Amino acid sequence: MKPFARADRVSGQIQKILSDILKKKIKDPRLKMTTITGVKMSNDLRLAKIYFTTSGSITSRERAIEGFKSAAGYVKRTLAAQLGLRYMPELKFFYDKSFDYGLKIEKMLKLIKTGNG
């Protein structure tokens, strides 16, 4: 069994800390219904791709991205204080489309099952 790479451990820590920050410390209404679904780190720990989902429409997604951009400095400082890394990775935020895709597939399967498709 292959042990976890350091990037995997750090991404798990970032996801946990960032979820806690969103829940308890950030008061931005654009980020109120936002959930962190995953973090992927580059092997050199210089880049963290943070995936999120939010309830609502496309405009709420865009507003959430703007909210993350405005809170990026605070988030990065808070993460740096808790992680203790030599270099704090650059944070990039992306909407996680996998949930939307799953809902689309589920609707298609229901249509097929009921015979309407």
Residue 98 domain boundaries: 6-114
**Residue 34, domain member (yes or no):** yes
Residue 95: which H helix or E strand, with range? strand 90-95
Look at residues 67, 62, 68, 63 and name the one whose alpha carbon lies nearest to residue 50: 68
**Residue 1, domain member (yes or no):** no
Give the pLDDT of residue 48: 94
**Residue 110, domain member (yes or no):** yes
**Residue 42, domain member (yes or no):** yes
Query: The CATH number of the domain where 104 resides is what?
Result: 3.30.300.20
- Whether pTM exceeds 0.95: no
**Residue 44, domain member (yes or no):** yes
How many domains are contained in the chain?
A: 1
C-beta separation of 16 from 60 below 8 A: no
Is it the case that residue 97 has pLDDT exceeding 50? Answer: yes
**Residue 26, domain member (yes or no):** yes
pLDDT in tens, 65-93: 999 999 989 999 999 999 888 888 999 99
pLDDT in tens, 18-60: 999 999 988 888 888 899 999 999 988 899 999 999 887 778 8
